[in-house]
Structure 1
């Protein structure tokens, strides 16, 4: 097998593991295990904890002591053990710790996957800029395929989704040991501060960058909300007779997968929008897209309102990419060359770390506020439209404040 095929398989499996549970777990926890909204939110907030801690730690280990491909394999095997354990538990405490440990193992593998791919392409004398994007695209395809498998098999309603993710993690873990060697760069003097993006704190001397990172954190809180509750929300229509047999209810995860499909398409438009409109307007487009993402969820239904749910999935591509990808490119341009790696680490910590923590616990509190539970914690009712409209209002407030406080003059020739 050629090296490009082998790296494509690695990347496909990398995101297949994540797609097997990220979108469907919230529905399983809420419908089948009767977890409350706050409990679901806190479990998804573990992604933020893992993103704050582990990528930097594991990056240092790969830079100094252990081959990246071996470390990738070790992390996936440990993550698989956590997923297998999570598939056997039904109470909140054990599920929380199982998923926290799993994400502590999984989150650093995203960067390790890229490192292994870059190194292998370089060894085989390929142009990384040209060859890596198509390989990375198969990561998104893997994520979507996993969602479809989980939906069509019915695994979305059981712990089988975690078991399937665990088996996939074992396969990738073992496969990683067969990949081209990626030894530590022993001459590289990368500090712990650099690994955690903290030597990029110098960027906060600029009020423009301080404001940008603040709003990046606030918008980062929106990233996991529909991952946490999207399937649970659409599945809730099953209790309404007129929607019980609707395609969107029966195949909610497939419906949600349109979001990932849209994401792959909007990535291609980023260069045009950045050159034409600049980072401020592109970020505002993202924020307004989040308003529509949540608002359309609040107004839609799987029947006559199905078009609103589908439109919500489509605008997700703009909401996610115009913030996550464009924001990363902006940080890359604003940071000096010697701290660009750390600046990207800081952006990741702010959005997927602190932002995910705020979003996980904050959204959980809002979901519980608009929910009624029996004394035994069984759900009696939940006002989903109010919940989604609150999230939409949050995104709108962020957009208005960002428009007022973020000062940036767009120069088309430079963006």
Structure 2
């Protein structure tokens, strides 16, 4: 089978596993009385991302081939998520937070490092077969987003977005990917005979990237922008669905099919990924990151202004800018890290990037967002007052994103050479 096609299938499945529950889990949690805990569930993805991607990156660099480790991670993630679904099915409306949260946490502990590992597998296979990652990777990654969309729409139109069944869908896809990972080309570990220091052996060399001022600033802003990453995944669906409690919006398509509406965000992602090679070459990492940051301001602000009725165009526009907000940051950042680091620590460096964004950043972001939403929304019982609370919350998130954008524009220094992206150091 064609090499790019094999990596495309990997990317499709990798994100279909996540798409089955990421944007709809908040709805299920709300339906079983755990609405005030939504932020904790999404924050757990961040907490495990602080250490698991870096740890698995070290293991992949040194001891277990990345494609095999990827499969192992998906096996455990799937088993624990299927167990979470089974518990939800058995408990009905009497779901205990501690039990569901434990099973879900164990699942994401193994899923989150698989994102960086799948990137590392793709980069390694492409480089080993003489492909240019800047050109070859974005189209492959696009199919990850298509997989995410397909899983989202499946969960929406089967009615699973309000139930535990979404966990079963994700778990089954995870088992398929577990098997598939073992068919992928080998990604050699770095078994050098030369004497290494203790820190080198553990792969801690990647953390030395913080000594480079440019990389340190880049990683710090990756964390600050990572604060925004999961907020709409956790709260967009419950927010849009809440319009069903307002008589004027009760029968609107958007209020009744929040997941399908949100899937426009992922459609935008597929298009924006394909634009990355052009934008990176034309404008450089700083301007591309600034575009992403300003897109987050619009993403949140338009949620605050829109509604599923006459203002649905603002929701749609918010979904469109999401592609720029997410991809111009996540994919460009990943490519930037790949080009700026030595091949011996590539998996570890991707793990550090993941740790800063989906780890520290997303954890802080979701815990802060939970505080804001619980204060302005879930403290209210009247649907109209809850809606006002939602709008206030979105404006607070937009203001934060704007402050980060301005600071990044002033502080991050990077001279862009339009003719040549920096080659990997050897």
For structure 1, which runs of at least 5 residues remain unmatched after alignment? none
TM-score after normalising by structure 1 = 0.87
- Seen in structure 2, the aligned counterparts of structure 1 residues 191 and 355 have a Cα distance that, compared at 3 Å, is farther
Q: Which residue of 2 aligns with 1:172?
A: 177
Contact 1:70 1:177 in 2 (8 A): yes
Match of 1:34, SS state, is: coil
CA contact (8 A) 1:62 1:68 kept: yes
Aligned partners of 1:83 and 1:162 also within 8 Å: yes
| 1:162 has 2:161 as partner | no
- 1:144 and 2:149 correspond: yes
Q: Tell me: CA distance 1:156–1:192, structure 2 relative to 1, closer, same or farther (3 Å).
A: farther
Q: What's the TM-score, normalizing by structure 2?
A: 0.85
Whether the aligned pair in 2 keeps the contact of 1:8 and 1:136 (CA below 8 Å) is yes
Aligned to 2:20: 20
Instruction: Kindly state the Cα deviation for residue 224 of structure 1 after the two structures are TM-superposed.
Output: 0.6
2:297 corresponds in structure 1 to 291
Q: Is the CA contact (8 Å cut-off) linking 2:139 and 2:273 kept in structure 1?
A: no
Alpha-carbon distance in structure 2 between the residues aligned to 1:365 and 1:288 = 24
Deviation at 1:142, TM superposition (A): 1.0
Deviation track 1:81-103 (CA, whole Å, cap 9, x = no partner) reads 21122112422222222221101
CA contact (8 A) 2:139 2:274 kept: no
d(CA) in 2 for partners of 1:283, 1:63: 28
- Structure 2 counterpart of 1:102, from 103, 107, 110: 107
1:359 matched to 2:365: yes
Q: What RMSD, in angstroms, separates the aligned Cα atoms of the two structures?
A: 3.2
Aligned counterpart, 1:33: 32
Cα distance in 2 for residues equivalent to 1:41 and 1:5 = 37
Name the CA distance, whole Å, in 2 between partners of 1:363 and 1:268.
31
Residue deviations 1:98-154 (CA, integer Å, cap 9, x gap): 22110111122234434555677789x684747655443322211110001001101
Alpha-carbon offset, residue 27 of structure 1: 1.8
Change (3 A) 1:374 1:118: closer
Could you tell me how far apart the structure 2 residues matched to 1:232 and 1:29 are?
10
In the alignment, structure 2 segments of 5+ residues that lack a partner are 89-94, 422-426
**C-alpha deviations, 1:20-58, integer Å up to 9, x for none?**
00111112212x022244x21111111112222222333
Would you say 1:53 and 2:51 are equivalent positions?
A: yes
Spell out the pairing of 1:105-116 with structure 2 (5 A cutoff): 105-114=110-119
Count, aligned residues: 410
Q: Matches of 1:191 and 1:236 in 2, distance apart?
A: 56
Q: CA deviation at 1:350?
A: 1.0
Find out whether 1:43 has 2:41 as its counterpart: yes
Deviations 1:132-177 (A, max 9, x none): 5544332221111000100110100101101111122223223444
Report the CA distance between 1:356 and its aligned residue: 1.0
Task: Report deviation, 1:17.
Answer: 1.0
SS in 2 for 1:174: helix
1:369 maps to what in 2? Answer: 375
Contact persistence 2:225–2:404 (CA under 8 A):
yes
Q: CA deviation at 1:396?
A: 1.0
Q: Aligned pair in 2 of structure 1 residues 198, 350: CA closer, same or farther (>3 Å)? A: farther
Q: Is 1:306 aligned to residue 312 of structure 2? A: yes
Given candidates 306, 309, 321, the residue that maps to 1:315 is: 321
Give the distance between the partners of 2:23 and 2:105, measured in 1 at CA: 16
Q: Using a 3 Å threshold, how does the CA distance of structure 1 residues 191 and 385 change in structure 2: closer, same or farther?
A: farther
Query: What is the deviation of 1:77?
Result: 2.3
Q: Distance in 2 between matches of 1:121 and 1:403?
A: 33
